[in-house]
Structure 1
């Protein structure tokens, strides 16, 4: 669904001014989207998965490990597709206010796409370079939105998400490097003049939703604190938005309608989008092409 059509529908969770600001800036923080009951359930599910990771010695389909990970000191970068590994994560994606927020930004008919749980371990979670999401998973329109939930309070020291306001309105950047590798990185010298003045730090207390437009340029800072920064990210789209390529993070719930009804017609934005590598045989992230010590997760 196109933005002008989404705005014709009333909001469920956001105020009209919050929604208009999101479409103007491409990012927002909304506190209290995950209440105390949901946070308790999500943290318990997260703890179960961290405990399971103690038995894993190398990154696999579930866990992407941070350097130094071991059974006595688990250190994770990502739990891939948490909805595939613990029912609480799917319950939250489908039943909580997270999906209602998505309906405010995608239109009343909402489709689930994929999820991830990104960690920034204390004194180790590193920065993630500037990038845009949609070239990794292009759709027929630009309705896809990421609703990220901080499972713990996130301060400046913990490596919050950073975004460049208004960058979603400019042409998309290539996510390939000069050698043709999928790098998922925009060099700072290629960013528009004055970009530093538009950087916003998306901090917030536990339960806050960080909303990221699929075109907005964003990244994250390093975690220099003694506290973990776990962030659950669910990607939703309008029901009439169709992916062009294989989902890099597939799950049994891909394409599930979580609000409203299935679409009868597809929506197409006239603006094109760079296509990523073929993910049908598995997702190859940007980490192989980042310098040692630079790999991280948004």
Structure 2
């Protein structure tokens, strides 16, 4: 669904000013988006998955490990597709206020695309370079939105998400480097003059939601604190938005209608989108790409 059509529907959760700010800046923090009951359920599910990771010795299709991971000292970068591995994550993605918020920025008919639980472990949870999401999973329009939930308080030291306000409006950057390798990063020298003035740190207390437009340039800082920074990220789109390529983080729930009804016609934005490598053979996540081990095909 195009923005002008989404705006014809009144918001259900966000204020009108907040929704306008999201479409103008490409990002938004919503305080108290998740209540204490849901936070406990999600934290308990997360703890179960971290405990399960103690038996894992190398990254696989479920866990992406950080250097130093061991049974005695688990250190994770990501739990891929958490909706597949614990029922509470799918219950949250489909039944909670997270999906309600998505209706305000995707329109009344919303479908689920994918999810991940990103960690930044204390003393070393690494930064995430500037990038745009949609070239990794292009759709027929630009309605896809990431609704991220901080499961613990996230201040400046915990490595919050950062975004460049308004960067969703110009043409997209390439996520390939000059040698044609897929890196999912934008070198700072390729950013427009004065970009630093538009950087916003999207900090928030536990239970805060962070909305990220699929075109906005964003990244995150390293965690230099003694506290973990887990963030659950669910991606939704308008029901009439169709993916062009294989989902890099697939699940049986891809395409599930979580609000409203299924579409009878597809929506097409006239702006094109760069296509990624073929993910049908699997996807290892962005960190490998951003550490100088770029690939030209699936990884």
Shorter-chain TM-score bucket reads over 0.9
Partner of 2:279, secondary structure, is coil
Structure 1 partner of 2:42: 42
Structure 2 partner of 1:280: 280
Structure 2 partner of 1:116: 116
Structure 1 partner of 2:84: 84
Deviations 1:102-136 (A, max 9, x none): 00000000000000000000001011100000000
1:134 aligns with 2:121: no
- Counting matched residue pairs gives 293
1:11 aligns with 2:11: yes
User: Do the aligned residues in 1 keep the contact of 2:76 with 2:119 (CA within 8 Å)?
Assistant: yes
Q: Deviation at 1:292?
A: 7.3
Q: Deviation at 1:288?
A: 3.1
Partner of 2:11, secondary structure, is coil
User: Do the aligned residues in 2 keep the contact of 1:182 with 1:286 (CA within 8 Å)?
Assistant: no
Structure 2 partner of 1:61: 61
- Aligned 1:84-233 pairs, distance under 5 A: 84-233=84-233
Distance 1:217 1:198 in 2: 11
User: Do the aligned residues in 2 keep the contact of 1:182 with 1:285 (CA within 8 Å)?
Assistant: no
Structure 1 partner of 2:296: none
**Normalised TM-score (structure 2):** 0.97
Partner of 1:169, secondary structure, is coil
**Normalised TM-score (structure 1):** 0.97
- Aligned 1:260-275 pairs, distance under 5 A: 260-275=260-275
Gaps of at least 5 residues in structure 2 are: 294-299
User: Do the aligned residues in 1 keep the contact of 2:148 with 2:233 (CA within 8 Å)?
Assistant: yes
Q: Deviation at 1:33?
A: 1.1
Structure 2 partner of 1:245: 245
Q: 1:110 to 1:289 in 2, by over 3 A?
A: closer
Q: Deviation at 1:290?
A: 3.0
1:20 aligns with 2:20: yes
Please give the root-mean-square deviation of Cα atoms over the aligned residues, in Å: 1.0
User: Do the aligned residues in 1 keep the contact of 2:184 with 2:289 (CA within 8 Å)?
Assistant: no
Distance 1:121 1:203 in 2: 17
Q: Deviation at 1:181?
A: 1.2
Q: Deviation at 1:158?
A: 0.2
Distance 2:242 2:290 in 1: 30
Gaps of at least 5 residues in structure 1 are: 294-298
User: Do the aligned residues in 1 keep the contact of 2:185 with 2:290 (CA within 8 Å)?
Assistant: no
